[in-house]
A and B are shown apart, each in its own frame.
Chain A
Amino acid sequence: MTTPTTSGAVVALEHVAKRYGPPGSPPAVTDLSLTIPAGEVCVLVGPSGCGKTTTMKMINRLIEPTSGRITIDGVDVMRQPAVELRRRIGYVIQQTGLFPHLTVAENVAVVPRLLRWQDTRVRERVDELLELVGLDPAGYRSRYPAALSGGERQRVGVARALAADPPVMLMDEPFGAVDPILRDRLQNEFLRLQAKVRKTVVFVTHDVDEAIKMADRIAILQRGGILAQYDTPDQILANPASEFVDRFVGADRGLKRLSLARVRDLPLLQPVLVRPGEERAEVRRRLEGPEALGFALLVDEEKRPIGWIGHAQLAGDGPISPDAATPDATLLQPESTLRDALSELLLSSVQLGVVVGEGERVLGAISVDQISDTLRAAAGHGHGAA
């Protein structure tokens, strides 16, 4: 990026409450305190009516708190004019809110123009941002929003929010209105983008899976804006703080937790590697070692896996033929999530996964037992062991 990026600011909520009705009416947000470290994605999640959107909108003062204090890098948001505050906070909403009468470039340029940047600086920034969100500036600059697809609009919305390089971004169900496949792609794109720009992001969603995927920290709110738990996705899945959190994250939280871990996080097992032509008796002997997995892995000269060989195929004498192995060995990449790995392993005849790296060369193996040990280790801490 040509413009140096401002990284995130600490956002802190201190005893924040919001009541829409007169004193005594049920509050939308009750005594909420949480601190979001600079550069992290904090996802506010909870059932409808839990005050997550209200909480988010109090940060840029679209809604003003009834009591309590919200600070950004220590500065109270109520101590500055609302419009100036908002120009320093990126804002992305579900329906995108793109201005239909402005081109893509003009939409992205909105906040820089409000801040009276010079024309050349605005133009450069617009092109830079369109590239950042994966839209070719030459092809998109002068289009109107009506001529864009849903995904393109959402990307322009993100570019517009980043335009003036704000330290804080608020995102209100930004990917809620697109189909699941596109949502997945936009989520991944945003995570990659966030790794570069390191903003402090407050992200609202009602979707637990999205929260787990996007968050560095998740704040689970329950009705009345009461903070049920505020922790990392891993900790929330491993140790739900209450019955409510447990139910909200769902009965399959063990499986969900597996989507946080990747194959490369496990210590790889080293199976006995065998090449076609080796003597069966010799292989049988090597399989008796304490480290052996009960199967040998047949590989070719390039160390690419052919398949597993069990004791049944090793009976008798003579060399091993290349077609002796089970043909359906499950191949896993180090980047695969444990959830995907488990689901593939459960379908294969040998419940061992071959982990392959570049050129499909064998790096090692993982077993279903290792994955279930991970699950148990998680559940072992504190509440929710059941």
Chain B
Amino acid sequence: MIEGQPFFRFDWLVDNLDQLARRLGEHLLVTFIAVTVGFLISFALALLIRRYPPIYGPILAVSGILYAIPSIALFVLFIPITGLSLLTAEIALVSYTLVILVRNIVTGLRAVPSDVIEAARGMGYTDTQRLWRVELPIALPIIVAGVRIATVTTIGLVTIATLIGMGGLGYLIVNIGVTRRFPTATITGVVVVVLLSTIVDLLLLAVQRRLTPWAKAREA
């Protein structure tokens, strides 16, 4: 901290609103790509597991190991191969979402009551119709719960991705705040990250409530 300066400089914040908006945009984009790609991969894996249950254990083990690697290490690990690029960042971020998303999608599908599945078969649903019209809708609350955790986790991790040049809100926290000893930027970055996580989490919850009005009837 530079002597003689106030701890938080509002004038800096006001002057840098455009940068804040840009960093927020970068942050959201990197998060969105990671969660979307992570979800698509996890969904495909979950469908494979639904068909071939024995592969669940190995898939969980591999994604669990990925999850256990410290994020900085994972970012750095890929630099020699993919350079300081968005791809490097996304590889790491997507890896982290897998264990959460695969587990939640599989758990959601497995939580569909067996009598419901039997009734669906007995009434003449094809396997595909049963998956899309019965099992996935019923699994939705658990699946969305996974997406919420994955998204909040990713928003946090993206701040670290600034180390490999991804910008985002991490740029304010680390590159400006820490490197230049300017706490105003760090505080701004942290507060916005927390707000962002909370808002996105609540939005996803609202989406889930909207999509599953029946789940409320069940709780009542």
Contacts and interface: CB of A to CB of B under 8 A. Distances in A.
B-side interface size class: 20 to 34
Interface in A87-114: 87, 89, 91, 93-103, 110-111, 114
B116 A100 contact: yes
Contacts of A146: 214, 217-218, 220
Nearest to B141: A101
Interface of A: 60, 62, 82-87, 89, 91, 93-103, 110-111, 114, 143-144, 146-147, 160, 170
Contacts of B220: 146-147
A100 B119 CA distance: 12
Contacts of B122: 60, 62, 86, 89, 91, 93, 97, 170
A83 B134 contact: no
A62 B126 contact: no
Most buried by A among B119, B124, B129, B140: B124
A96 B118 CA distance: 10
16 contacts: A62-B118, A84-B124, A87-B123, A93-B115, A99-B119, A101-B134, A101-B138, A110-B123, A111-B124, A114-B125, A144-B214, A144-B217, A144-B218, A146-B217, A146-B218, A147-B217
A231 to B, nearest CB: 28
Contacts of A97: 113, 115-116, 118-120, 122
Interface in B187-220: 212-215, 217-218, 220
Contacts of B218: 100, 144, 146
Interface of B: 113, 115-116, 118-126, 129, 134, 137-138, 140, 212-215, 217-218, 220
Nearest to A148: B217
A96 B212 CA distance: 21
B72 to A, nearest CB: 42
A83 B118 contact: no
Most buried by A among B123, B137, B214, B215: B123
Given A86-B123, A110-B123, A114-B123, A95 B113 contact: yes
A222 to B, nearest CB: 25
A14 B161 CA distance: 69
Contacts of A103: 214
A208 B181 CA distance: 84
B123 A93 contact: no
Contact of A99 (B124, B129, B134, B217): B134
